[in-house]
């Protein structure tokens, strides 16, 4: 158990809809990173939040957006869903104060029909 | 960002030692080498991290030569439950990049 929890665990949406995924980070961690993992591939970095500010972004369009709250929990929002957005979405928490080890949640499996 | 290269897949038998080598020719001075394990439908799990020489913990050892352009993850006496994907990463900033990983299959 990493102490990182994600909700929901599974989600089915249709093209064009919007989705919000949630992540509670491990106690004491101030950084949250989001990843998209398609079947059979490694996780792809979406973005990272550090103390409520976006701290870096991968090669994802603006319809992927996020938030980090004062308690360091986080949301990933995806607008105008496309079929290719179907994937496992992973949240990882870490603390820049104690190195860059990432602690992952179990993910949200998103299916876009 | 340093790119990593590792074998796509490996097979082993229970009780054997497994060594997975990763190359990272463009590693920077401040980068750390980190390995993760992932089971299907789960998030990656941290295994071990090192900067140089050898690091050992309760589950694995990590060997890093002096030039740091490669690293080897060593899993002693693997069991069936070690069947998973293993990722080698070089971490030096906010953007942790995963490659395709090595699929290890442990047979009875």
Decide if A88 touches B, using CB distance below 8 A. Answer: yes
A48 and B94 in contact by Cβ < 8 A? yes
State residue A97's pLDDT score: 61
Half-sphere exposure of B67 (CA within 13 A, CB side): 6
Provide, rounded to the nearest whole percent, the portion of chain A with pLDDT above 70. Answer: 94
Q: Which of B91, B1, B11, B2 is nearest to B44 (CA)?
A: B91
B93 and A107 in contact by Cβ < 8 A? no
Could you read off the pLDDT tens digit of each residue along chain B, which spans 108 residues?
A: 568 899 999 999 999 999 999 999 888 888 889 999 999 888 999 999 999 999 999 999 999 999 999 999 999 999 999 999 999 998 876 667 788 899 999 999
**DSSP 8-state secondary structure symbol assigned to residue A108:** E
B87 and A42 in contact by Cβ < 8 A? yes
State residue A55's pLDDT score: 87
Chain B hits for A95, Cβ within 8 Å = none
Q: Which residues contact B85 (CB under 8 A, 6 or more apart)?
A: A42, B37, B38, B101, B102, B103, B104
Provide, rounded to the nearest whole percent, the portion of chain A with pLDDT above 90. Answer: 74
Q: Which of A112, A67, A41, A98 is nearest to B46 (CA)?
A: A98
Q: How far apart are CA B66 and CA B28, in angstroms?
A: 13
pLDDT in tens, A28-78: 888 999 999 999 899 999 999 998 999 889 999 999 999 999 989 999 999
A43 and B98 in contact by Cβ < 8 A? yes
* CB count in 10 Å sphere of residue A39: 8
Decide if A58 touches B, using CB distance below 8 A. Answer: yes
Chain A hits for B98, Cβ within 8 Å = 35, 42-45
Q: What is the dihedral of CA B30, A33, B97, B103, to 10 degrees?
A: 120
């Amino acid at each position: 158990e990493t102490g990182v929890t994600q909700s929901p665990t599974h989600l089915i949406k249709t093209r064009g809809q919007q989705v919000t995924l949630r992540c509670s980070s491990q106690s004491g961690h101030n950084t949250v990173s989001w990843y998209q993992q398609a079947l059979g591939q490694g996780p792809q970095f979406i973005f990272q939040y550090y103390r409520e500010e976006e701290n870096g972004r991968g090669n994802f369009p603006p319809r992927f957006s996020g938030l980090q709250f004062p308690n360091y929990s986080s949301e990933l929002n995806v607008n105008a869903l496309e079929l290719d957005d179907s994937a496992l979405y992973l949240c990882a928490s870490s603390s820049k104060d104690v190195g860059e080890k990432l602690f992952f949640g179990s993910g949200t499996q998103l299916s876009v029909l | 960002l340093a790119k990593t290269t590792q074998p796509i897949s490996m097979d082993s038998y229970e009780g054997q030692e497994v060594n997975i080598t990763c190359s990272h020719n463009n590693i920077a001075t401040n980068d750390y080498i980190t390995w993760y394990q992932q089971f299907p439908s789960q998030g990656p799990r941290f295994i071990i991290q090192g900067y140089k020489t050898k690091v050992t913990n309760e589950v694995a050892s990590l060997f890093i030569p002096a030039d740091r352009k490669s690293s080897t993850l060593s899993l002693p006496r693997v069991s069936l439950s070690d069947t998973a994907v293993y990722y080698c990463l070089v971490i030096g900033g906010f953007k942790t990049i995963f490659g395709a990983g090595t699929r290890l299959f442990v047979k009875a």
